Amino acid sequence: MVTVTEQDKAEEPRRWVVGITGASGAIYGITLCRQLLTAGFHLHLVVSDAGWRVLKEELGWDVSHRMASLEEAFPGAMAEGAITYHPLNDIGASIASGSFRCEGMAIMPCSMGTLSAIANGASTNLLTRAADVMLKEWRPLLIVPRETPLHAIHLENMLKLARLGVRIIPAMPAFYNGPQTLEDIVHFMVGKVMDGMGIHHNLYKRWGQPNE
C-alpha cells in the first residue's frame, strides 16, 4: 500500500487548467495566466480555434505561429516548463483524464458555444473534455461567460452548471473601485476569478478598503 505524505503533497506542482475560447475578452484570459504564473502555479493551457481568432483580432497576435506567440506573451515561462500548452484536438492529453491532479480549471473568457457544450456533456474537444473532468471529479470549475444580451438558453445553461457547483463569474466589471484605465477593469475581473480560486492577490481595491 502506497501512502502520500504531507511532504509528497508539498512537492507536487500546483496546477491550474486555463481555457480561452472565442468570446470577446481574450485579454482577461492572458492576464489571468500571467497572474497565476506570478503566484507560482504551473499552467495547462488550452485555446479554442475561435479563441486564437480573438487573440489575433483583439491583441494582434500572429496566430499562424502559435507557439512563438505564446513564448512572446509569457517570456521564459514556456522554456522553463511553467506552461504546458495543449492543442485543442489532443484528446489524449493529460488533462483529459480524471487521474490528472490539479487545483481546478478556469475558462476565461467562455463563449456561449463552449458553455452549452459543457452544460450538455458534449466533450467534443480537449477544452470541453477537461471541463467535463472537473465536473465528474468534483474539482473547482470557474467559467467567465461574455455575451450580451443573454437569451433563455444561455441563462438555462448557466443555471444548470451553477446547480452542479460551477462558479459562474460573468465579465461584469464594477466601478466602485474607481478604475482609471482599461487595465484596472481587466484586473478587477481577473481578481474576482482569483478570489473564486482562493488565491491571494492585490489586483483591485476592495469595498471599504482605504485609499493608499
Give the annotated binding-site residues for FMN. 22-24, 48, 111-114, 146
Start-end of H helices in the chain: 6-11, 26-38, 49-59, 66-73, 77-80, 112-119, 126-136, 152-163, 182-197
Binding site listing for dimethylallyl phosphate: 176, 192
Coil vs helix vs strand at 129 = helix
Cα distances (Å, whole numbers) of residue 57 to 26, 27, 136, 199: 10, 11, 35, 30
Backbone angles phi, psi at 187, to 5 degrees: -65, -35
Identity at 153, one-letter amino acid code: I
Binding site listing: 22-24, 48, 111-114, 146, 176, 192
Residue 136: Cβ-neighbour burial (10 angstroms; 0-12, 13-18, 19+): exposed
